Structure 1
Amino acid sequence: MPVADVRLGSGDHALNVTSIGYGAMSIAGAYGSMAEDAAIDLLHHVEERGVNFIDTANIYGDGVSEQVVGKFLDGRRHDFVLATKVGIEKGGGVGQRRPRGDAAYIREQIDLSLKRLGTDYVDLYYLHRVDPEVPIEESAGALSELVEAGKVRAIGLSEATGEEIRRAHAVHPVTAVQSEWSIFSRDVETYVLPTCAELGVGFVPYSPVGRGLITDHFTPDALGEGDGRHNFPWFQAENLPLNQELAEQVLAEAAALDVPAAGLALAWLFAKAHGLGVEISPIPGTRYAEHWDELQAGLGAGGAGVELDAGVIARLDALAEQVRGERSFKVDWVSGGREGLIPRS
């Protein structure tokens, strides 16, 4: 399974990463429990498939994800491009947390993350959510100070609007923006992705298979107790049946191409990114090695996306407008909500 290299960002703040990265939220219990040994085995599997880009966050499992990733990286930190995040303060669980982006908090949290990760620097440090009470310039300035201190190589933003990206980029070059983007979630195409293309900022799509919905394996029974997807409108009882029907259309397209549905979802992303002039490295997450291989099948022979014809792309493009429910339980937390692209219920 070849994996191409891509370049996120430009100039002195660019990072070379594999065209797919591993999103390590899954190993911290977001979709169900996972033993530490099993998580480390899965990370080794991803490594064996040629992937060197690992994405985590301080909030995933309240630090558990960072700790597991740190154990995996022990003794060979420099073989990987490591990203983590700051900017969501622990509250009463999903839906009860709050964005926090003040400089003091960012300075405090980087040291805690570095300790858990067992390293003295991270390659890419994201502001996980934009704090509505803190100017983005202050948050970007604090991240810039960490670059100067040698604790961070490059800075990123997650779920920032096009305007917020521009304002932060004026303080310090932004290397990557991470936001949700998939066949079912398209709002970033209006403002965010054109801004990234204009500024030379890389893009890191999270949830590229719709939190597992756009795969060959999803069933409602997969949503066990404690599964965080219960909090997302797509998966609620009034919305899920229709959304599953739409996912079945993706599965039919994938079957006709003899690729897994998850692989087709990634191939679609690469095709769309090429058209928009943006370099991407999606970061799907899974707890299963075989599911990872299905994802990576979407990279194709060249390692940067199975080639899709215009008809397939057009049919997949038509699905997003039919999806029922919004992509987030808090629309103000995501870029499309603040840009007026996601209606408030």
Structure 2
Amino acid sequence: MQYRQLGKTDIQLSEIGLGTMSLPLDQKKATAIVDAAQEKGVNYFDTADLYKFGEIEELLNPIIKGRRDDFILASKGGNHWDKGKKDWFWDPSKSYIKSACKSSLKRLGTDYIDVYQLHGGTIEDPIDETIEAFQELKQEGLIREWGISSIRPNVIKRYADAGMSSVMMQYSLLDRRPEEELLDFLHEKGISVIVRGPVAKGMLSMKTDEKVPEDGFLGHTRQEVLYAADAVQLIRGKESAAQVAIQYVLQHPAVTSVTAGASTPEQVFENIGAAELEALTEEEYKRLQNSVKTEVYQQHRN
């Protein structure tokens, strides 16, 4: 496993991180998945208070107990919900962000979160107030660093000079929009990109074409998706398709870590295989790029 610097900080993240949204709510099974990831050198674990309405954070509590220093732990807030209720509304207010962070700390059973992220956001939010919340949480020692989880270019750019260390965003061969506008910008700012969705809902690593809907994916037709998937699978073979798709997004220097979910230890090992795969050559990288058209952000700008 290789490790990369988080923004301008002294925190080193594993190139492959574990996303916890799909962890089973069985303590033994969840622990086995986390242990499998750590066995392979994963230190970055991403969660959120909204994942199963706090249950995932509570699930992680006994797993990290007694070995907190082995985890770079990230969580997210901004979706306002109350215990026992399964609905929520967007609330980026300073008071709620600080309250949500403290609730996450309690559920996780830790006194600090390494990377705390805004779980969304729009240009209409009280952004200065939201930034104050993160800055105060950091000053109080409750978080080490902060960032946002967003694909909205105008929102990301508003936060870029406020001291954040990371942006989590969707990025894959089938969603190359970040390449056109965000990756170089964030790299120049010294802000890390943490990738989600590198395999495009499994469409780039499928064993059959049944995963591709008739209307395609984003702006790509079904045939274009299948063509891109074939290109990925031809690089190192079908069994390494998921790893190739992950290696593709790791190629850009702005990317620090790729967060991949898993519901079994076997899926963990498949994802982490990307870190053990030889890096793509420039020729392979260009071949993949040429297999699918680039797009720009039309919607989701603000």
Structure 1 position 90, deviation (Å) = 4.9
Q: SS at the partner of 1:183?
A: coil
Identity, % of aligned positions: 26
**Contact 2:21–2:261 under 8 Å retained in 1:** yes
Name the SS of the counterpart of 1:107 in structure 2.
helix
Match of 2:248 in 1: 268
Corresponding residue of 2:198: 208
Which residue matches 1:179?
Answer: 169
Q: Which amino acid aligns with 1:9?
A: G
| Alignment match, 1:285 | 261
Structure 1 CA distance for aligned equivalents of residues 171 and 208 of structure 2: 19
TM-superposed CA distance for 1:132, in Å, is 4.3
| Richer in helix (by share) | 1
Alignment partner, residue 22 of structure 2: 26
Give TM-score scaled by structure 2 length: 0.87
- Mark the runs of 5 or more structure 1 residues left unpaired by the alignment: 28-32, 222-234, 327-334, 341-345
Q: 2:283 aligns with which of 302, 307, 311?
A: 311
Residue type of the partner of 1:121?
Answer: Y
Aligned to 2:38: 47
Q: Deviations over 1:92-119 (max 9, x none)?
A: 98xx865321111101111111111011
Once residues 196 and 322 of structure 1 are traced to their aligned partners in structure 2, the CA distance between those partners, rounded to angstroms, is 19
**Distance of 2:68 and 2:62 partners within structure 1:** 10
Question: Are positions 1:252 and 2:250 aligned together?
Answer: no
The structure-2 alpha-carbon separation of the partners of 1:163 and 1:194, relative to structure 1 and needing over 3 Å to count, comes to: farther
* Alpha-carbon distance between aligned partners in 1 of 2:185 and 2:116, rounded to the nearest angstrom: 20
Q: Helix, strand or coil for the counterpart of 2:173?
A: coil
Q: How many residues align?
A: 295
Number of the residue aligned with 2:299: 337
Q: Does 1:238 align with 2:215?
A: yes
Q: Secondary structure at the match of 2:168?
A: strand
Q: In structure 2, do the counterparts of structure 1 residues 263 and 134 end up closer, same or farther at CA, with 3 Å as the change threshold?
A: same
For the residue of structure 1 that corresponds to 2:49, the secondary structure is: coil
Partner of 2:111: 120
Task: Measure how far apart 1:80 and its partner are.
Answer: 0.9
Shift in CA distance, 62/320, structure 1 to aligned 2, threshold 3 Å = farther
Q: Helix, strand or coil: the match of 2:117?
A: strand
Query: Contact 1:184–1:319 (CA<8 Å) still a contact in 2?
Result: no
Aligned partners of 2:121, 2:109: CA distance in 1, in Å?
A: 27
Q: 1:139 to 1:236 in 2, by over 3 A?
A: farther
- Report 1:156-167 matches (<5 A): 156-159=147-150, 161-167=152-158
Cα contact 2:25–2:56 (8 A) shared by 1: no
Distance in 2 (alpha carbons) for counterparts of 1:193 and 1:238: 28
Structure 1 residues 182, 40: closer, same or farther in 2, change over 3 A? same
Question: SS of 1:284's equivalent?
Answer: strand
Structure 1: which amino acid aligns with 2:3?
D
Matches of 1:209 and 1:316, distance apart in 2: 13
RMSD, aligned α-carbons: 2.8
TM-score, normalised to structure 1, is: 0.77
Q: C-alpha deviations, 1:126-169, integer Å up to 9, x for none?
A: 01101444232221111111001111110011115444334324
Distance 1:141 1:109 in 2: 14
Inter-partner Cα distance in structure 2 for 1:218 and 1:143? 44
Q: Which amino acid is the alignment partner of residue 297 of structure 1?
A: G
**Distance in 1, Cα, partners of 2:124 & 2:143:** 24
Residue 40 of structure 1, CA deviation: 1.4
Question: 1:65/1:177 Cα in 2 relative to 1: closer, same or farther (>3 Å)?
Answer: same
Q: Aligned partners of 1:144 and 1:49: how far apart in 2?
A: 34
CA contact (8 A) 1:254 1:261 kept: yes
* CA distance in structure 2 between the partners assigned to 1:245 and 1:188 by the alignment: 21
Q: Which runs of 5+ in 2 are unaligned?
A: none
The residue aligned with 2:3 is 5
| Aligned partner of residue 299 in structure 2, secondary structure | helix
> Counterpart of 2:257 in 1: which secondary structure?
coil
CA distance in 2, matches of 1:295, 1:213: 15
